[in-house]
Amino acid sequence: MQTDLMHWFDMDAPVFAFSHCRDVVAAVSRAGGFGVLGTTHVTPEQLELELNWIDDHTDGRPYGVDVMFATRPPEGTEQLSVADVKRVIPPANTRFVNDLLAKYNVPELPREDSETLLAEYMGSLLRTHTEAVKRLDVVFRHPQFVRMIVSALGVPPAAQIERAHTLGMKVGAMVGQVRHVKHHLNAGVDVLIAAGYEAAGHNSDIATLVLTPQIVDAAGSTPVIHAGGVARGRQIAAAMALGAQAVWTGTLWLGTTESETTELIKKKIFAANSGDTVRSPFNTGKPTRRLKSAWTDAWEQEGAPKALPMPLQSILINEALHRMEKYEPEPLVTYPAGQAVGMLNHQTDVRGVMYELLTELGTTVEHMQQTFNGDG
């Protein structure tokens, strides 16, 4: 089995792995897949360190980097300063967050730490085009091993696609609606990732079983990756039967020893079933999927404020998420996760996961051949 994507990226397995953890990215690429590093949680300076480390730990294998080009930010929010926060964040929303944390006795940060956290976030972590380009400026200094950049949200700007192509990099983009395909293709995107309802992070309101074949049909000769709910080898076979050339995985790696997740988050992941996640806009301002908790429940209750548009919602909750990570109030703690979480029940490692995926993929394909030949 050798798809175009596998040939492009020197892959032994049709498995792309998204992670915010450099250890997962490097381990997946070493194991014959293609690791993709998420960048929304790191500053450009931190990203440089991360990429240097990955370059040194993939055994010469390529990997990718994921950025976010959110479309149509609210007027006046592309360039925001710390002084602008009180002007653009409604006081009622701030009170709601503070009251919720107080209800669960989450300690406040010292004022100096709070101010530093906000300044860092406003200075280099906003989900805007400007910050995405700053990250790409770093990524483009690593053309030897970074072989693909991926736009996690929105059509990547033509100028950035041209820069990537000049350096020999491919450009991928997440799509959740068929109508978005033409915009990506017109921009020059090389790979489309059909991100369905089951997926973690920003996704679609359409299930992948329905979405992927439609994206494949609309994409023509452009390769498509199936994203959402994949945690088994038989699902890889199903995705390829739908016309995809590979699968995009994320939640699958949260339970590995290499993952960035804490022991508490892993405990919640292994205890969760596929109904224990929720898709809502209260993390970034656009719909994302994450583990249910008292935090997600509160935002869904009557009387809760509506989600602010991106990037304002992320500004609103940034300190709250930091405090939850620091103090670990168990009822509140949540984490991005897709519906594949119901298939994770114990800690593994990246190499073991890859072995299980490919073993089941081979067994599934063999069984399908026997079935079609009347031998099964």
Does the predicted TM-score (pTM) go above 0.75?
yes
Total residues found in the chain within this entry: 376
pLDDT-based confidence at residue 8 (cuts at 50, 70, 90): very high
Q: Does position 65 have pLDDT exceeding 90, yes or no?
A: yes
- Mean pLDDT score, 154-164: 92
In the chain, domain spans: 4-73+127-260+346-372, 82-125+262-327
Give the count of alpha carbons within 13 A of 351, CB side only: 2
Structure tokens at 363: 């067994």
**Residue carrying the six token digits 């926060």:** 85
Q: Smallest Cα–Cα separation from 161: which of 138, 141, 184?
A: 184
Amino acid residing at 363: T
Top CATH class, 4-73+127-260+346-372: alpha beta
Say what the alpha-carbon torsion angle 198, 213, 175, 305 is, to the nearest 10 degrees.
-40
Q: Does position 109 have pLDDT exceeding 90, yes or no?
A: yes
| Residue 57 confidence (pLDDT) | 98
Q: Smallest Cα–Cα separation from 245: which of 214, 274, 270, 222?
A: 222
| Residue 185 confidence (pLDDT) | 96
pLDDT-based confidence at residue 2 (cuts at 50, 70, 90): confident
Q: What's the distance, Cα to Cα, between the start and end of the chain in Å?
A: 22
- Mean pLDDT score, 100-105: 97
Q: Does position 77 have pLDDT exceeding 60, yes or no?
A: no
Q: Which residues contact 260 (CB under 8 A, 6 or more apart)?
A: 19, 20, 21, 23, 24
| Residue 179 Cα distances to 46, 112, 182, 217, 219, angstroms | 36, 47, 7, 12, 11
**pLDDT tens, position by position, 241-297:** 999 999 999 999 999 999 999 999 999 999 999 999 999 999 889 899 999 999 999
DSSP per-residue string spanning 119-139: HHHHHH---SHHHHHHHHHHH
Looking at every residue in the chain, the average pLDDT score rounds to: 93
Other C-beta atoms lying within 10 Å of the C-beta of residue 326? 12
DSSP conformational letter for 285: S
